[in-house]
A and B are shown apart, each in its own frame.
Chain A
Amino acid sequence: QQTAFGATSVDPDTPVEVESDELRVNQADGTAEFVGNVVIVQGVMRLGAPRVLVVYDEAGEKVRRMEATGGVTLVSGPDAAEAQRADYDIEAGKVRLQGDVLLVQGESTLASQDLTIDLTTGSAQMSGRVRTLLNPKN
């Protein structure tokens, strides 16, 4: 079944590259905070945000989840989504965008307060009074 969001599904194990202007590491709680033009790339998906907090597992090597705040844009193939914040649970392979969410896919755009993208299945579900335009195919 064709993925609904993004060109192809994303394997959660593919490595995650993170670039940012600045990095602050907090050994105590095992987190690292990237600040300034943060870009996270995993396979065909790119996530950009002004600030991303990365939380590692207890061992400290694998990234468990990321919290991007301050206006997030998520691009995968032709589709794109933006919201105020995004929480990426890497093991579950789910990205949850919240706050003024806008999903753009080809001609149609969907707006709501909450969007959950399952990167493994490629399905995208919006909730919380979703609003979209049913434009004609041209």
Chain B
Amino acid sequence: QQSDAPAVLVADRVWLEGQSRVIAEGAVEVMQGDVRLRAARVSYDRDSERLLIDGPIILTRGENEVIVADAAELDRDLRNGLIRSARMVINQQLQLAAARLDRVDGRYAQLTRATVSSCQVCGTRPPLWQIKARRVIHDREEMQLYFDDARMEVLGVPIFWTPRLRLPDPNQTRATGFLIPSIKRNSQLLTGVKVPYFIKMGDHRDLTLTPYLSSETTTLEWRYRQAFANGRITFEGAVSEDTLYNKGRAYVQGYGQFDLPRDFDLSFTIEAVTDDAYLTDYGYSDADLLESNVTISRVRSDEYIEARLGHYFTLRPGESNSEIPSIVGNVLYEKRLFPRLGGELRFKAEEHSHLRYSTTPGLGRDVVRLNAEALWFNTWTLPLGLRAEGLVGVHADGFITRQDALPANQSGVSPTAALTLRWPWVRNQANGVSEVIEPVMMAAWTGGSGLAVANDESTRVEFDEGNLLSLSRFPAPDRREHGLRGALGLNWTRIDPQGWDARLTFGTVYKADVDGNFSPSSGLRNSVSDLLIAGQFRNQAGLSLTARGLFNHDFNINKAEARAGWSSDRYALSASYVWLSADATENRPSNVSEWLFSSDFDLGRHLRGSLEGRYDIAADEPVSAGMGLLYANECVEVELSVSRRFASSTIVTPATDFSLTIGLRGFSAASASGRGVAKSCR
């Protein structure tokens, strides 16, 4: 249809010939809507309303479509017509060259004898890849490219031919069609190919089906996503028939999140699998414990509400699903009040229950606990800048235990009081460096005594700067610190916005009596705890080092963890180290020590490498290693990754996974990974 806006012509020289011909020369520009034509010479015949245009011609439409040509004959609003020896560039990425380009209704561009590529063309050398076709039709509205009689050439060598081919244009974000295939090699499943097919189901739903075929397996992977006005869900899974397992295998993983009225939030996750080794064999997940749960929660500055129902399924060898707490329910309500007399009054009420399928006493223990807590605390500034926080409160706990030798009902009330002193000293130097030295001290007393209830939840206690001064270092109320206890600590912090930051913390906890509920390796078992030393160093060059250690009385390490990271624009390096002393109560018969290292780095303008390794120092054997190469230039993205897992068990066998993905850039918006630095001609 004729667009209504008249086309504007501007030129250095214009003259009129006869009654109906206007001829323009010298930097001629014709503008109509978002289409703009620049040419050396244009002659416009008013009767035929045709523009005869001599090159060099540049025809642009918005920023995303440019056509360069030698000659053209177009109608008045530049929407229809013929362009000779045209080179069309879409989204500054995809180039289509053709002897002839016919524009139809401003929507279609039909290129005859066309060559399509997104690679830089250097001199006369053939580009890395190009598609030659008898005809290419670009549909601007559907954002699709339709090829007839297409031949794919790599470095000038034809590698495959297809009568018809459809590819999305660079603006296309969601369209049904094949995605980039990849080749996978795994020592168990051998070499296979994954060909994902994306099905757009309206604007709010899509389904991706990915057949994965190899000599050992026939698998269909699927992912379904749906967005709602107030939330979204995503489900993914796979179904397989393979030579590794006698029956069919499948897994499903789903998660969703919804906004409920009155600021509540609903979220759920679902994980299920037919056999234990399936997820690891196919590399779908590292999880060895499947957790499905539904959670409703609300967060406000003075209130937190959470209700959660969860179900667990273990894949660990040696753990049976009937003896682990499988069904777990939690309801938590926390309220913070700020009375006129000052300070904060904090109420907390919690219900927790966990049930084991087994009904044999002991193994099948089921527990329901109700805990309530009211704490009031306030901080005063004493003379000489001493900061004192006083706290008083009461805990009330009730337990119901079934299918166990322990008493069925237990309840108790424990009053508690604590005093925490902090004495921060500051030095602000002229050069902007500031330092803070802060000795801290805490004393606490809690009445009542431990209840005769099972310790199902507080078996893994940690001791770090986060709970040096806390009232109870047990993670759950089925164990609580009673009696008189205290803590001493010293914090040092250096802050230099231009230079390096650092911090160092020392801490020790003192208890009137030994608490057997703490495991030996937690560092908190004895009346004088291990010495906690934790520190961090960070500088402007991107280096960061964070470490923490627990040192027992003869100063050897009980537990140590460190993380190091270094990033610059060309390299990123991260390493972590852990050393855990042997502790039977934490199912750790021998010391555990491990190095984890991963880095990625530039290997030139287009190549980026990555390395990863995990080494079990105690067992003195590698756990896993991986290497990756990503080559990306303006028109192709090749990703190669190799990973080797040395671990072996019933659910895991040593396997080397290899995957290769070759993506042509310039088709569909998703393909641009942003790294595609244009190659320069050499």
Contacts and interface: CB of A to CB of B under 8 A. Distances in A.
Interface stretch (A10-18, A31-39, A43-51, A106-114): A106-114
A106 B8 CA distance: 17
**Interface residue range, chain A:** 20 to 34
Contact of A2 (B10, B19, B24, B46): B19
Contacts of B11: 129-130
Contacts of B19: 2, 4, 105-106
A7 to B, nearest CB: 11
B10 A127 contact: no
Given A132-B22, A137-B46, A4 B12 contact: no
Nearest to A5: B16
Given A130-B10, A131-B8, A131-B9, A136 B2 contact: yes
A120 interface: no
Given A108-B22, A108-B46, A134-B30, A129 B10 contact: yes
B76 interface: yes
B9 A126 contact: no
Contacts of B76: 134, 136
Contacts of B46: 107-108, 134, 137
Interface in B1-37: 2, 6-20, 22, 24, 30
B47 interface: yes
A134 B75 CA distance: 11
B399 interface: no
A76 B151 CA distance: 62
A110 B10 CA distance: 9
Contacts of B44: 134
Interface string A119-133: 000011111111111
Contacts of B515: none
Query: From DSSP, what is the main secondary structure of chain B's interface residues?
Result: strand
Contacts of A27: none
A132 B30 CA distance: 9
B73 to A, nearest CB: 14
A131 B12 CA distance: 9
Contacts of A103: 16
Contacts of B18: 1-2, 4
A135 interface: yes
A110 B17 CA distance: 13
A130 to B, nearest CB: 4
Nearest to A127: B13
B232 to A, nearest CB: 50
B17 A133 contact: no
Given A130-B24, A131-B8, A131-B9, A136 B49 contact: yes
Interface string B39-78: 0000010110101000000000000000000000000100
Contacts of B51: 134
Contacts of B30: 134
B10 A124 contact: no
Interface in A61-75: none
A123 B49 contact: no
A124 to B, nearest CB: 5
29 contacts: A2-B18, A4-B16, A4-B19, A105-B16, A105-B19, A107-B46, A110-B14, A110-B22, A123-B15, A125-B15, A126-B14, A128-B12, A129-B10, A130-B11, A130-B13, A130-B24, A131-B8, A131-B10, A132-B8, A132-B10, A133-B6, A133-B7, A134-B7, A134-B8, A134-B44, A134-B76, A135-B6, A136-B2, A136-B6
Given A130-B14, A130-B24, 12 more contacts: A4-B17, A107-B46, A125-B14, A126-B13, A126-B14, A127-B13, A130-B13, A131-B9, A133-B8, A134-B44, A134-B51, A137-B49
